[in-house]
Amino acid sequence: MGGGVGGSDVAFVGGAGGAATGGSSSASRIPDSRIFPQEVWQRVEPEMRPERGRVLIARPSGMAALERAFLGHALYAVIIGQPRTKVTPEALAAAVEFECGILSSQMTVEVTGPPFHFFLRFHSVEDCTRVVYASEQLRCGGSRIGFQRWSSWSRGKSSQLPYKTTLSLEGLPEEAWDEDTVNLLLTGVDGELVDMLPSTDKWLLHCTAWLRNPSDVPKVLTVSVPAPALQPWKPDSDDENAHSPPRPLSPTDRRCIDYTVIMHVKEVIDRGPLLTEGLADEFLPDEGVDLTRKHTFATWRGKIDGTSPGTNGKA
């Protein structure tokens, strides 16, 4: 990790800062003045977008590596009160160096988003701990600075994937039969892969997963995969007159390959509330009773769940 500061033009005195971004060369060739009078809305206008959404992301190896790098080496800093002068990453690094004796080359200070103001990383665990002990004693810009250790929980809150479920995936392409890809698919239905189970053929991929709500798993899922890059052209023969095809123009979209995947839900371990209709409270189990039960469903190859049995055996 190299030392340094970032975002020095950002102040926390009655305003916020941001970073400029550049467009692609193809986008820059489209004139801003191009409009069509027939169009009454512009795609992605704020009024057209949902207010909130929810997405589950996988925990890839890169994320785990960053967590290991931050643990014990990273802090959040918060400006307490209104500073008399602008607090910048450079100013905070200088204050840490003066107060704690840590060279600015041994730390990185960057602007971060609310509820914090700065994100600090240190070369050594000892330096990081020394700054924690200076929390609310160190001053910068006339204000006290509070420090707290970085944690994966610092910005989030707890939630659960409560339902352990056994599924069979039918129609997934053979090149997608690996744990990382299957986990990506399951995150699309609010789930996380537990284990890929042994399969006797390439018709069905069996797995177990944690799901937020198995009732939300679609019976049929369209899985879009970005198309692979074009391979170098090679002639199909030794014909010396064969010519390579012309180079394609700059793309105007990203091509994908769509796969139709039947999602068979075979078994669910359910610890949630009973799904009842119009039942008086006196007929319901007492509070605190263990409601764990197992739901098992018959699923069939080539048939959507809930339809008639198929002739190709169980899924």
Q: Give me 68's structure tokens.
A: 């290991």
6 and 117 fall within a common domain: yes
196 and 83 fall within a common domain: no
Euclidean distance between CA atoms 224 and 227, whole angstroms: 9
Q: Which residues have CB under 8 Å from 29's CB, separation 6+?
A: none
The verdict on residue 215 lying in a domain is yes
The verdict on residue 22 lying in a domain is no
CB neighbours of residue 59 within 10 Å: 12
**Residue 216: is its pLDDT beyond 80?**
yes
**Residue 177: is its pLDDT beyond 70?**
yes
220 and 301 fall within a common domain: yes
- The answer to whether 144 and 138 are in contact (CB under 8 A) is yes
- The answer to whether 1 and 104 are in contact (CB under 8 A) is no
The DSSP output letter for 314 is B
- More confidently predicted of 243 and 143: 143
The verdict on residue 36 lying in a domain is no
Confidence tier at 137 by pLDDT (50, 70, 90): very high
Euclidean distance between CA atoms 108 and 8, whole angstroms: 12
Span of 50-59, 185-194, 217-226, 262-271 with lowest mean pLDDT: 50-59
69 and 110 fall within a common domain: yes
- The answer to whether 207 and 169 are in contact (CB under 8 A) is yes
Euclidean distance between CA atoms 311 and 301, whole angstroms: 8
CB neighbours of residue 12 within 10 Å: 19
182 and 297 fall within a common domain: yes
Q: What is the pTM of this model?
A: 0.77
212 and 96 fall within a common domain: no
Euclidean distance between CA atoms 292 and 272, whole angstroms: 8
147 and 165 fall within a common domain: no
- Which burial class, exposed, middle or buried, applies to 315 when counting CB atoms under 10 A from its CB (0-12, 13-18, 19+)? buried
203 and 113 fall within a common domain: no
Question: pLDDT (tens digit, 9 = 90+) per residue, 74-93?
Answer: 999 999 999 888 999 999 99
Q: In the listed set 90, 125, 155, which residue is the last one of a domain according to the structure? A: 155
Q: What is the mean pLDDT of the chain?
A: 88
Q: In the listed set 155, 190, 218, which residue is the last one of a domain according to the structure? A: 155
Q: Residue 118: give its domain's CATH number.
A: 3.30.70.330
Q: H/E element holding 92? A: helix 89-100
Q: Which residues have CB under 8 Å from 208's CB, separation 6+?
A: 164, 165, 166, 167, 193, 194, 195, 197
The verdict on residue 93 lying in a domain is yes
Confidence tier at 25 by pLDDT (50, 70, 90): low
Q: In the listed set 127, 155, 183, which residue is the last one of a domain according to the structure? A: 155
Minimal CA–CA distance to 263: which of 177, 166, 175?
166
91 and 104 fall within a common domain: yes
135 and 201 fall within a common domain: no
- The answer to whether 165 and 268 are in contact (CB under 8 A) is yes
151 and 67 fall within a common domain: yes
The verdict on residue 18 lying in a domain is no
184 and 137 fall within a common domain: no
Q: Which domain holds residue 134?
A: 1-10+58-155
- More confidently predicted of 21 and 294: 294
Counted domains in the chain: 2
- Which burial class, exposed, middle or buried, applies to 145 when counting CB atoms under 10 A from its CB (0-12, 13-18, 19+)? buried
β-partners of residue 144 are 80, 139
